[in-house]
């Protein structure tokens, strides 16, 4: 078929706007969003609270219908919930009655994946995210950061080509967060997954991204995009000292109007 959509373009958001109607009136969450993502790109999205970052991710996943404009994911228009993605919600959204393993394996059970393989992969992911020893703990026995890591494992289990992550490391302490950033950079650079990740940390946004997208306060628009010109696989300390990191992060910080890094 001769499609207009280029195959290396994984995501194409054109003139997307989303308005919520509630009893208290209409809230315009997103306005005129244009965003193209190439296969294997790591996009981080930064913006003030309430500017529509979560809404944007949900629109890409087909969980929230656009009021205007369109979203194309891997060549197809997004019209309903997409299954070729992994989604990490801002709140961990775990099933209270399932333990850590059970929550991760939900992905495999629902998709009817090969359970043997899924269990092996679950073990790997648990090990990787530092959850070893808590396989059988229930969500209410976990800290907020641990819950987020479970939700991350669940999103990675089926090795999706596109990952949508809403502040996946938001509830982690600074050190664990750095570790997860490094680990996640490794995974991404090895798998070529396309990622859209929302974060409030400028350092995280710049360290992880191949491109940083900065949004304005509500109604959310994209005000600037910055390509981070560094190799995909990044050493943490080295990256944070590089001039490219400084160039991008000071610009992003400026746009967000904060005098110093908030994390």
Ligand X SMILES: Nc1ncnc2c1ncn2[C@@H]1O[C@H](COP(=O)(O)OP(=O)(O)OP(=O)(O)O)[C@@H](O)[C@H]1O
Residues that bind another protein (CB under 8 A): 58, 61, 63, 81-83, 85, 87, 89, 91, 93, 95-97, 106-107, 109-111, 132-134, 136-141
Give the closest residue to 162 by CA, choosing from 195, 189, 127, 118: 195
Report what 111 binds from Mg ion, ligand X, another protein, none; CB cut-off 5-8 Å by kind: another protein
Neighbours of 210 (CB within 10 A): 21
Nearer to another protein, 107 or 199 (CB): 107
Report what 44 binds from Mg ion, ligand X, another protein, none; CB cut-off 5-8 Å by kind: none
Nearer to another protein, 132 or 258 (CB): 132
- Tell me the closest approach of the beta carbon of residue 220 to ligand X, in angstroms: 7
DSSP assignment string, 182-221: HHHHHHHHHH--EEEEE-S-HHHHHHH-SEEEEEPSSSB-
Q: Which residues bind ligand X (CB under 6 A)?
A: 20, 22, 27, 29, 47, 49-55, 90, 218
Give the closest residue to 171 by CA, choosing from 194, 200, 207: 200
E strand or H helix that includes residue 180:
helix 174-191
Report what 55 binds from another protein, ligand X, Mg ion, none; CB cut-off 5-8 Å by kind: ligand X
Catalogue the long-range contacts made by 18-22 (C-beta closer than 8 Å, 24 or more residues apart): 18/52, 18/55, 18/59, 18/64, 18/66, 18/67, 19/67
Parallel, antiparallel or unpaired: strands 211-215 and 42-46: parallel
- Tell me the closest approach of the beta carbon of residue 113 to Mg ion, in angstroms: 29
Q: Quick one: how far is CA 19 from the chain centroid?
A: 22
Nearer to ligand X, 54 or 147 (CB): 54
Report what 132 binds from another protein, ligand X, Mg ion, none; CB cut-off 5-8 Å by kind: another protein
Nearer to Mg ion, 90 or 176 (CB): 90
């Amino acid at each position: 078929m001769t499609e207009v959509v280029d195959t290396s373009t994984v995501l194409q958001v054109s003139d997307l706007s989303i308005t919520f109607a509630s009893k208290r009136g209409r809230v315009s969450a997103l306005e005129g969003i244009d965003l193209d993502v190439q296969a294997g790109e790591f996009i981080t999205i930064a913006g003030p609270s309430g500017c529509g970052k979560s809404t944007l991710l949900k629109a890409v996943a087909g969980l929230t219908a656009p009021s205007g404009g369109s979203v194309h994911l891997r060549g197809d228009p997004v019209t309903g919930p997409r299954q070729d993605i992994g989604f990490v919600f801002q709140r961990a959204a775990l099933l209270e009655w399932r333990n850590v393993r059970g929550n991760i394996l939900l992905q495999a059970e629902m998709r009817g994946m090969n359970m043997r393989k899924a269990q092996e992969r679950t073990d790997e992911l648990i090990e990787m995210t530092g959850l070893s020893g808590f396989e059988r703990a229930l969500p209410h026995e976990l800290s907020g950061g641990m819950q987020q890591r479970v939700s991350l494992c669940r999103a990675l289990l089926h090795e999706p080509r596109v990952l949508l992550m809403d502040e996946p490391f938001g509830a982690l302490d600074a050190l664990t967060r750095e570790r997860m950033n490094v680990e996640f950079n490794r995974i991404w650079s090895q798998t070529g997954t396309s990622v859209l990740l929302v974060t409030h940390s400028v350092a995280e946004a710049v360290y992880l991204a191949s491109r940083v997208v900065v949004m304005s306060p509500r109604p959310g628009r994209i005000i600037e995009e910055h390509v981070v010109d560094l190799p995909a696989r990044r050493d943490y300390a080295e990256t944070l000292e590089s001039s490219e990191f400084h160039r991008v992060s000071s610009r992003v910080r400026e746009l967000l109007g904060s005098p110093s890094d908030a994390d």
